[in-house]
């Protein structure tokens, strides 16, 4: 197979969103249960989703396109990985949340894929020996609610060894009401304020941008967003709106 090089843009050196600033966003938060107005996926529904993906994959290997937390925390033993670009999609903080890294009183944002542009990330191969088990664990992590089962889809990605078909999550069509285009100013406010039992949205942004930078991947919007969140956290810290908090892992 002909190898196709994937161009990368040199990442700026210094991040504005530092670990010290991120640490100020941590606080003790109790688990409030399921996301409001969504129904937790049942074991049977999860099994049906696993079967659907297996049928769609047929006898082929399953590769997963990672563009956010799956890059730095895949949750399974990665059998192989490659740099990858998904054309026709871009990563964006466009998924509003009230759980995990947020609460109903202080909502936040998580990453999703929205139509248009391109998105550089990784493809991760599920181990053949534990493929079904790892797939179920992965789906249970990403798809917690029955209403969002259609946020599992296959995308075509370009890798150094050619084109691959890869499974991904939260790739939202223009018609979907689950994600929305959110101005960076508004996104920075939500990300700076939100924290839940799983950590803060600022931590999620920091870890993602740092991982991308370490891979020499430059996402212009996320780079600008970490600058804006850092500026907001500094301002809040100076006027006393942020106190020292304890992180719950």
Of 141, 116, 119, 146, the residue nearest 65 (C-alpha): 119
The domain locations on the chain are: 36-238
Burial 156-194 (b: 16+ CB within 10 A, else e): ebbbeeeebbbbbbbbbeeebeebeebebeebbbbbbbb
Please tell me the distance from the alpha carbon of residue 23 to that of residue 26, in angstroms, as a whole number.
6
| Tokens at 203, concatenated | 């931590």
Q: How would you write the pLDDT of the chain (249 residues) with one tens digit per residue?
A: 444 445 555 666 689 999 999 999 999 999 999 999 999 999 999 999 999 999 999 989 999 999 999 999 999 999 999 999 999 999 999 999 999 999 999 999 999 999 999 999 999 999 999 999 999 999 999 999 999 999 999 999 999 999 999 999 999 887 788 899 999 999 999 999 999 999 999 999 999 999 999 999 999 999 999 999 999 999 998 876 554 333 332
pTM of the model: 0.90
Please tell me the distance from the alpha carbon of residue 235 to that of residue 84, in angstroms, as a whole number.
37
C-alpha count within 13 angstroms, C-beta hemisphere, residue 64:
27
Between CA 202 and CA 43, with CA 170 as vertex, the angle to 5 degrees is 105
Please tell me the distance from the alpha carbon of residue 125 to that of residue 191, in angstroms, as a whole number.
31
Question: Candidates 1.25.40.10, 3.60.15.10, 3.10.490.10, 3.60.21.10; correct CATH number of 36-238?
Answer: 3.10.490.10
Catalytic residues: 142
């Amino acid at each position: 197979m002909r190898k196709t090089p994937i161009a990368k843009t040199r990442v700026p050196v210094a991040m504005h969103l530092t670990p010290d600033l991120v640490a100020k966003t941590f606080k003790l938060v109790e688990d409030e249960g399921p996301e409001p107005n969504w129904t937790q996926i049942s074991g049977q529904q999860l099994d049906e989703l696993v079967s659907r993906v297996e049928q769609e994959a047929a006898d082929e290997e399953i590769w997963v396109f990672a563009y956010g937390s799956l890059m730095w925390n895949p949750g399974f033993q990665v059998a192989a990985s490659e740099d990858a670009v998904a054309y026709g999609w871009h990563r964006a903080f466009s998924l509003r949340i009230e759980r995990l890294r947020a609460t109903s009183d202080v909502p936040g944002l998580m990453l999703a894929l929205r139509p248009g542009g391109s998105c550089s990330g990784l493809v991760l191969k599920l181990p053949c020996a534990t493929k079904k088990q790892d797939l179920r664990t992965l789906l249970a992590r990403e798809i917690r609610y029955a209403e969002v089962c259609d946020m599992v889809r296959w995308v075509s990605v370009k890798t150094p060894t050619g084109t691959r078909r890869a499974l991904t999550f939260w790739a939202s069509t223009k018609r979907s009401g689950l994600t929305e285009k959110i101005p960076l100013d508004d996104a920075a406010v939500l990300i700076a304020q939100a924290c839940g039992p799983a950590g803060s949205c600022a931590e999620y942004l920091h870890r993602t941008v740092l991982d991308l930078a370490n891979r020499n991947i430059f996402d212009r919007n996320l780079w600008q967003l970490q600058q804006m969140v850092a500026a907001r956290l500094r301002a809040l810290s100076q006027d006393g709106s942020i106190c020292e908090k304890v992180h719950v892992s």
